[in-house]
Structure formats: C-alpha cells, structure tokens
C-alpha cells in the first residue's frame, strides 16, 4: 500500500441533521478534510443493514448496504421527497449519538414515500434499476425476498417462519415472490439508491486522491439472507439450526471468552465449490471499496468453534480452517486484490505463516504494546513494513480513554517509552509514534485526533448496550486541525506522492 496515512471514521458518525451520517454532502466535506490533511485513506466500518444490537458486524446481508445511509437531501433534490416531511421527523434527543430506535421508526416511512414518487417517474430509471438487479443477481433477489418476508413476519428470524419458507420450498418461494412483488421492488429500489449514492461519493473521494478502506466481517449473521439462501455452506442441522457457532476463547480481556453466535462455515462444502460464495463476496466488496479489511483473518487458518447451546465460550475448541487452499484460490480468482488482514488475537506460527503466504499486510495496534494483558509483541520497533498500524480500533478505548483506565503499570511503561509525563502529552505521542513507525500504512481513529475520552468510544466488546452510537459534530473539529494533521503526516513521510528514502 506504500507509505501512507489515513483516518478511521464510521459513516454513521458523520455529521447530519437526520440522526445518522449518510452518503451526502457532509461526507463530501469530510473527504475534503481528509484531502486537506494529506490523508490517502478513509477507513470505515461495515456498511450493511444492521440487525441485533445495531452492530455493523451482525448484518442481514453480507452484500447489501444499509438504508440508513441513504442521503435524504439528495432524494429531495431529485424530487422524490419533500423537505418539510424530512424536517418533521424527530431523529432523537441527543445529536451526539445515533438513536437507532428513532431511525427504525422513521427512516423507512420516508424511503417508502420516495419509492412511490420514483415509481411515478418516467420509464428510464426503471430500466436502469433493472440492469442493476441483473448485475447483482448473485445476491439481490434473495436479499429482497428475504427482507420482504421478514417484513411480513413482523421482523422475526427466518428460523421462525413456516416450514416451506424456512426450508425454501420452490413452490412456496414462487408464491411469496408473486404475493410480495411490489415489496421486493421496494427493496431493489433501496439498494439501487444506496449503491448509486455510494458510488458517487467514492468517485468524489477518489477524485480528491482519497481511497476507501472498507471493512468486511469474516462471519455472517444467523438471521441473514446469506444463511437462509445458502444453508448448505454453514454448519447447520437438519432443522437449519446452528450446530456450532463462532467466538473467541477466554483470555485476560474476557474470562468467559466471547460468544458471537454467528454460524460457522462448512469449509469442506465451500472448498468443493471452489469457494465460489467467498469469491463473489470479495469481488463485490472490492468493487465497493478500494481496499478491504477482512476482520478476524486468523479464522482462515483455524477458527474457534463453540457448541451452539452454550451460554459462553469456555467449552469451545480450535478447528482447522481452509488455510492455503482458500488464500491461493483468492489470488487466482482476484489477482492483485488489495486486502488488509486483521490478524489480532491469538496468533500462532501457523497464522503468521498463512499471513506471509497471502502477502496481505497485517495489523498492529499500538495500545497493545503497553497492555500487560497482551501476550503478543506490539512494540513499534518489531513492526514489519508490510503492516497497518493503528493507535486503536473501533473495539478499543480511545487513547485518552486508555490512559484514564489502564493500570498504572501500563501507563508508566507508555510514558517511559514516549518520554511523556501526562495523558495529554502521551496521547499526542501515541499518534506520532504510529505515524513515525516503519509500518507502510498508519490509520488513526478520528476520536484520537480530537483527544476524546470514553465519550468517543465506538464499541466495547462483549457488551450489547450503548455501542455504535458516537457521532461527530462539525463544530467539534478545531480550526486548523487538518493542517496540524497534514504537518505530522508530511514530517513522517506519509503524504500522498511522497518518496521517502529507503
């Protein structure tokens, strides 16, 4: 990826008067900020429609985009919505946090109004959408039918649908397609609109020299169109219930481990098909983004398998993953794929060997270098060039939050390493250390540039409340911050086009 720098900021966190960030004008102003700050990359979180717990890592689809990110002002400019109707909606009481309950109650009403207005337009948009559906036939028809059926069943999981639909009986599916034809077209429209807006935003960003790093969870949700439509690719029993589920083993960060609950892949079945579903998924993501970060890369070498009925992860076991066969298939099918491998966690020599075979850059989190609970070595002087260094990620506290909550032993080590004597000076040193490291790419969460504490944290693993809500106010960005970031980026040889000496 070359010596470069970027900033991590979720689309949901962008400023907006409508409850959540979108693909609209505020996103373009953010791209302008990145350009002015000399950043090559904007890293985001997954963009899929969120389900349980509002987590972008638990989505109804591995391919679809969330309707929440559709920009309402753009729809108004197209004559599909009335601004007065948009402004009449209550988007939540706290502008600093996403209110997903308010979004769930109000966003769909506006999108359905826009859909009716779109249906009344000339035939040209309908033909464009038809071409869009054909282009995405590997996932979109199943997703649209899944969402239409989910609506008809009051939002319940597909496991609770009547047998013929749960088991995808051909006659039942055909009858549902006929009965829900207009509802299916509505979901086509939502995805068509979201993808159009995203493509326009990405085009704008690329024109400014800013590339997008997308984020792809390794697993899919049990309650998703992917699992429903491809049950044979997962470890499910004859009732389509999961036999084993995903998670992480107990460690110093979580005594009972982490029980994610995602269905595990049947890797033998996938390999027999040439990993076709995974190839399609990666191709779709690499079309949406310039670079794709695959979450939990170590799961390709071996994955943690937990009995589905267990309440925590303590009885899980490690099982061999697809390994080199998968990596080699990806290289053959998608030569030159730009992928970042999230190789954090329990990294064995086998995981390290698979990462090396892949050629993908791994990840280094600077906070882990000073965390006495972390058994790996994340000290900056050990980094290879082919990696991406972060001060922290969406799953970590902000740097300021880390200094406030870490043990005295850990913060003392950080201060000794940086030569600092306060949390404020230590926070600045964290960023400079990451930028100055030998790692080819450095990505800093924007909350760290703002110096935010716990109020800026995005997610706390193993919890389900209060996550994914943090939002940025444009008035919270200090004047001159882009130039401050640019100066640091330049002094450490990370400006786009820079050619530091070897």
CA distances from 489 to 213, 366, 431, 444 (A): 18, 17, 10, 11
| C-alpha–C-alpha distance, residues 71 and 198, integer Å | 10
Strand order in the sheet with 291-294: 339-341, 291-294, 211-216, 41-43, 4-8, 441-445, 387-390, 362-365
Whether residue 421 lies in the annotated active site = no
Please give the biggest Cα pair distance in the chain.
Answer: 70
Strand partners, 365: 390
Structure-token pair, residue 244: 């084993």
Contact 368, 378 (CB under 8 A): yes
Asked if 398 and 453 touch (Cβ cutoff 8 Å), the reply is: yes
Using an 8 Å Cβ cutoff, are 100 and 242 in contact?
no
The phi and psi torsions of 152 (rounded to 5 degrees) equal -65, -30
Could you tell me which residues come within 8 angstroms of residue 19 by beta carbon, excluding any fewer than 6 positions away?
Answer: 91, 92, 98, 99, 102, 103, 106, 107
Q: Measured between alpha carbons, how far is residue 376 from residues 253, 347, 351, 369, 443 in Å?
A: 13, 8, 13, 8, 20
Residue from 295, 343, 371, 410 carrying the catalytic annotation: 295
For strands 291-294 and 339-341, give the pairing.
Answer: parallel
Residue 152 structure tokens: 């008809």
Q: Cα(197)–Cα(158) distance, rounded to whole angstroms? A: 30
- Alpha carbons within 13 A on the beta-carbon side of 172: 11
371 tagged catalytic: no
The backbone torsions φ and ψ at residue 295, rounded to the nearest 5 degrees and listed phi first, read -70, 140
* φ, ψ at 261 (rounded to 5°): 85, 0
Q: What is the DSSP string of 81-115?
A: S-HHHHHTS---S-TTB--HHHHHHHHHHHHHHHH
Q: How distant, in Å, are the alpha carbons of 106, 145, 149, 157, 170 from that of 179? A: 25, 11, 10, 20, 14
User: Pick the catalytic residue: 183, 215, 226, 342?
Assistant: 342
82 part of the active site = no
Whether the Cβ atoms of residue 303 and residue 319 lie closer than 8 Å to each other: yes
Q: How many other C-beta atoms are found inside a 10 Å radius of the C-beta of residue 237? A: 9
Q: Which residues are catalytic?
A: 295, 342, 395
């Amino acid at each position: 990826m070359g010596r470069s720098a970027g900033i991590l900021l979720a689309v949901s966190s962008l400023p907006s008067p409508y409850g959540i960030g979108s693909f609209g004008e505020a996103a373009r102003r953010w791209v302008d900020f990145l350009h002015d700050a000399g950043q090559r990359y904007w890293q985001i979180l997954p963009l899929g429609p969120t389900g349980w717990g509002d987590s972008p890592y638990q989505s109804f689809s591995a391919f679809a985009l969330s309707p929440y990110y559709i920009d309402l002002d753009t729809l108004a400019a197209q004559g599909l919505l009335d601004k007065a109707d948009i402004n009449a909606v209550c988007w939540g009481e706290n502008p600093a946090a996403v209110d997903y309950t308010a979004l769930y109650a109000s966003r769909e009403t506006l999108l359905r109004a826009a859909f009716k207005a779109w249906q009344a337009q000339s035939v040209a948009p309908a033909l464009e959408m038809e071409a869009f559906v054909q282009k995405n036939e590997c996932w979109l028809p199943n997703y649209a039918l899944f969402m239409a059926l989910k609506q008809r069943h009051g939002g319940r999981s597909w496991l609770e649908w009547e047998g013929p639909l749960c088991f995808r009986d051909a006659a039942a599916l055909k009858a549902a397609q006929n009965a829900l034809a207009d509802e299916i077209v509505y979901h086509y429209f939502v995805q068509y609109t979201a993808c159009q807006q995203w493509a326009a935003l990405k085009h704008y960003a690329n024109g400014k020299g800013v590339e997008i790093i997308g984020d792809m969870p390794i697993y899919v949700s049990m309650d998703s169109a992917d699992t429903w439509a491809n049950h044979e690719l997962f470890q499910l029993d004859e009732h389509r219930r999961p036999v084993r589920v995903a998670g992480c083993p107990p460690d110093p960060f979580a005594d009972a481990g982490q029980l994610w609950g995602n269905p595990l892949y049947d890797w033998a079945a996938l390999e027999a098909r040439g990993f076709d579903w995974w190839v399609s998924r990666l191709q779709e993501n690499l079309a949406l983004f310039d670079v794709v970060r695959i979450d939990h890369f170590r799961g390709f070498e071996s994955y943690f398998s937990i009995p589905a009925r267990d309440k925590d992860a303590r009885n899980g076991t490690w099982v061999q993953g697809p390994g080199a066969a998968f990596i080699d298939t990806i290289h053959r099918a998608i030569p030159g794929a730009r992928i970042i491998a999230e190789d954090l966690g329990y990294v064995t020599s086998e995981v390290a060997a698979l990462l090396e075979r892949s050629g993908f850059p791994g990840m280094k989190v600077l906070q882990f270098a000073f965390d006495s609970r972390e058994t790996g070595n994340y000290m900056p002087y050990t980094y290879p060039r082919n990696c991406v260094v972060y001060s922290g990620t969406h799953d970590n506290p902000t740097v300021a939050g880390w200094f406030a909550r870490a043990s005295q032993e850990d913060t003392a080590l950080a201060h000794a390493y940086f030569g600092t004597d306060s949390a404020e000076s230590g926070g600045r040193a964290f960023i400079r250390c990451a930028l100055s490291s030998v790692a080819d790419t450095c990505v800093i969460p924007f909350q760290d540039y703002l110096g935010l504490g716990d109020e800026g944290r995005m997610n706390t693993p193993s919890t389900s409340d209060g996550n994914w809500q943090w939002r940025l106010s444009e008035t919270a960005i200090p004047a001159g911050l882009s130039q401050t970031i640019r100066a640091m980026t330049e002094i450490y040889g990370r400006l786009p086009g820079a050619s530091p000496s070897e």
